[in-house]
Chain A
Amino acid sequence: MRFFLRRLGFYVITFWAAVTINFFIPRIMPGDPVRALIAKNQGRISTDAESALRTLFGLDKDTTLWQQYVDYWNLILHGDLGTSFTYFPTPVADVIAGAIPWTIGLVGIATIISFTVGTLIGSGIGWRRGTWADSLLPISTFFSAVPYFWLALIAITIFSVTLGWFPASGSYDRSLVPTFSWEFISSVIYYGTLPALTIVISSISGWILGMRNMMVTVSSEDYVTVAQAKGLSERTVLFGYAARNAILPQVSSFALSLGFIVGGTLIMEIVFSYQGIGYYLFTAVAAKDYPLMQGIFLVITVAVLFANIVADFVYGVLDPRTRQEG
């Protein structure tokens, strides 16, 4: 229990830090792009929305920094992230709420597939080192060095432009109305296959390598030797003794590298024009839509923190030592 409380405390601190970073970034930047944008949209922005923007970007020079900070937190905790310039007059929170299911569906599922399959392959390679399986290593090194978005470009060239198997962009057939019909869902799956496949291919090598190295380390442990000496079957030793222990660091590295993975996969959405968070971040950057940019950053951070909490919980369940030590 103490372990979870400690971790929770850490995530609260991280959340505070992320919000604070978000608070200070526009304030320490030279120039005042937001003021210009507000002036440009003069008359179109309601007074309420304008004052929210002023608070978010620190344009109220007459209030103290501390007062600005308190107001800022007040807005954030009420879920008010300002008004988007691009999708005016939709509030940023609504824009993000519309995009997030797509991202979680695509990136979430693809990451879980990649983690599971990668860990399985990794334990196989680590266990049978010195065989043909080792030649998979250089290949996975190559894939881990390639930027995600470039693989996506290649995938589109091969499977969409040349072979015409999958659509090159979008998230569902635009002629369909989003409903819970089988037709719509199958269209979503059809459009999502190529992006998901690309994410899996580009991120899987990391899990393979990590698991492989852990297997190499763990299988030199005494308890594995003893298990072998007892004459247990290969399978039992592999899954019951070696892989079971090797997977622990895998889980904690899953938590730590989530931020890294999420960043990479968001770019994937840009290449596929997939209507998730990453795509909106891209349009926000191109249009200098600062409220949307900052809102997306906050939401991504919160999502990653949440995933970390889940990973910590799983780790705690898997490894009793963490619970005892507190």
Chain B
Amino acid sequence: MTIDTSIVEEGRELEKPSQAPMTGAVAAAPGPRRSGPRKLLFLRNSKAITGMVILAFFLLIAVIGPWIAPYDPSARSSDILQPPSWEHWFGTTHLGQDVFSQILVGTRGVIVVGFVAGILATGIGVIIGVTAGYVGGLGDETLSVLANVFLVIPQLPLIIIIAGQLPSVGGVTVAVVIAITGWAWGARVLRAQTLSLRKRDFVEAARANGESTWRIITAEILPNLTAIIASGFVGTVAFAVLSLITLSFIGIGDTGEWNWGTVLYQAQSQLALQRGAWWWFVPAGLCIALLGMSLTLINFGIDEFVNPRLRSTGLNARSLRKRGIRPRIGFTPVVREAKEDRA
């Protein structure tokens, strides 16, 4: 089983739609000593750029959303259940509230919870994963079992029963609950990578030089984990956003606090479907999809940056074909540009 894990993890990373943003900058410099060209390489990846642009857009809305919203999202008006118009871009609800304003104001809640949960979960994941991988032995066994237990237990029901029993559920509380339940994947991947790094020559050399454990971990091992940590972070943010929206959608959490999930919750409970009020739930869903996609794209960028095989075989397949190389046949083609990039 151990043989396959690294491959499994690569595959899974991509498959899980999660993981992404902000970290782009971090990911761009896995080897801190190498600056210019490598950073550019990451930024030259079209998937990563698209993802970062979309993410930046949502970050901007999260900051300025409440100021630029044309109406108070909770204010009622006499325009009941209006389809989109110039006055109400995304139409209105059964109480005459402006859906566009609700989405704008709600962006902040989504982004804040996503990032707080992402940072917390990544923190826990790094501590547990790197410790497990570096310490080895019984400590490793215990921590791995702990991470695996959290991986196997279905997260969403767990989040629901914890959040459902809290007397009051604000955004930050939800973020903490999500972080507590969602750190295990990152920890697992980090452990596997630390395990392989630990035996490399440069770490052995540092140890032989008498460097302290703390210094080996922070100066030798962590910089080499940057890309994995970044993609884990991105994934957790995506997972946290989806969890928050799902929780809000089923009515857990503070319904007075706007986010995309509460918009959907109201649409569902006020029978928007049966009334044919598509404008009520379509925009929120598209926003979620766009944000999730941007995170996935950034992660693809990170993955292709870390794994040159995916880069040359996946991205350039079309150009290879033009040059008469059949990408299907199983070897990693040597492409001149790619070579220069990596130098």
Contacts and interface: CB of A to CB of B under 8 A. Distances in A.
A164 to B, nearest CB: 12
Given A144-B17, A260-B154, A300-B154, A217 B10 contact: yes
A253 B15 contact: yes
B12 A256 contact: yes
B342 interface: no
Given A145-B288, A145-B296, A147-B288, A264 B156 contact: yes
Given A141-B296, A149-B249, A156-B273, A263 B330 contact: no
A293 B309 contact: no
Contact of A297 (B157, B167, B267, B297): B157
A187 interface: no
Interface in A275-308: 281-282, 284-286, 288, 290, 293-294, 296-297, 300-301, 304-305, 308
Contacts of A10: 145, 148
B154 A210 contact: no
Contacts of B152: 11, 14, 256, 259, 304-305, 308
A206 interface: yes
Interface in B221-268: 238, 242, 245-246, 249-252, 264, 267-268
Contacts of A154: 282, 285
A205 B310 CA distance: 18
A31 to B, nearest CB: 5
A142 B293 contact: yes
Nearest to B316: A130
A193 interface: no
Interface residues of B, number: 74
Interface string B310-336: 100110011011000001111110000
A321 interface: yes
B289 A216 contact: no
Given A147-B288, A156-B273, A257-B16, A213 B154 contact: no
A106 interface: no
Interface in A229-256: 242, 248-250, 252-253, 256
A13 interface: yes
A26 B296 CA distance: 36
Contacts of B300: 141
Contacts of B297: 141
A207 B15 contact: yes
B335 to A, nearest CB: 13
B264 A209 contact: no
Contact of B154 (A149, A262, A270, A325): A262
Given A33-B165, A259-B151, A308-B152, A214 B7 contact: yes
User: For B264, B290, B328, which residue has the most chain A Cβ atoms within 10 angstroms?
Assistant: B328
Interface stretch (A41-49, A85-93, A173-181, A219-227): A219-227
A64 to B, nearest CB: 23
A51 interface: no
B4 A266 contact: no
Nearest to A127: B328
Nearest to B310: A216
A213 B314 CA distance: 9
B165 A26 contact: yes
B210 interface: no
B3 interface: yes
Nearest to B156: A263
Contact of A14 (B4, B149, B267): B149
B119 to A, nearest CB: 21
Given A146-B285, A153-B285, A271 B11 contact: no
Contacts of B42: none
Given A129-B314, A225-B330, A322-B1, A301 B246 contact: no
A147 B288 CA distance: 8
Contacts of B11: 210, 213-214, 217, 249-250, 253
A35 interface: no
Nearest to A304: B154
A266 B330 CA distance: 41
Interface of B: 1-4, 7-8, 10-12, 14-17, 145, 148-149, 151-158, 160-162, 164-167, 238, 242, 245-246, 249-252, 264, 267-268, 273-274, 276, 278, 281-282, 284-285, 288-293, 295-297, 300, 309-310, 313-314, 317-318, 320-321, 327-332
Interface of A: 3, 10-11, 13-14, 17-18, 21-22, 25-26, 29-31, 33, 127-130, 134, 141-142, 144-147, 149-150, 153-154, 156-157, 160-162, 168, 205-207, 209-210, 213-214, 216-217, 219-222, 224-225, 228, 242, 248-250, 252-253, 256-260, 262-264, 266-267, 270-271, 281-282, 284-286, 288, 290, 293-294, 296-297, 300-301, 304-305, 308, 315, 319, 321-322, 325
19 contacts: A145-B288, A147-B285, A157-B273, A157-B278, A160-B273, A168-B274, A209-B15, A214-B7, A216-B310, A216-B313, A217-B309, A220-B313, A253-B8, A259-B151, A263-B156, A263-B157, A264-B156, A266-B157, A304-B153
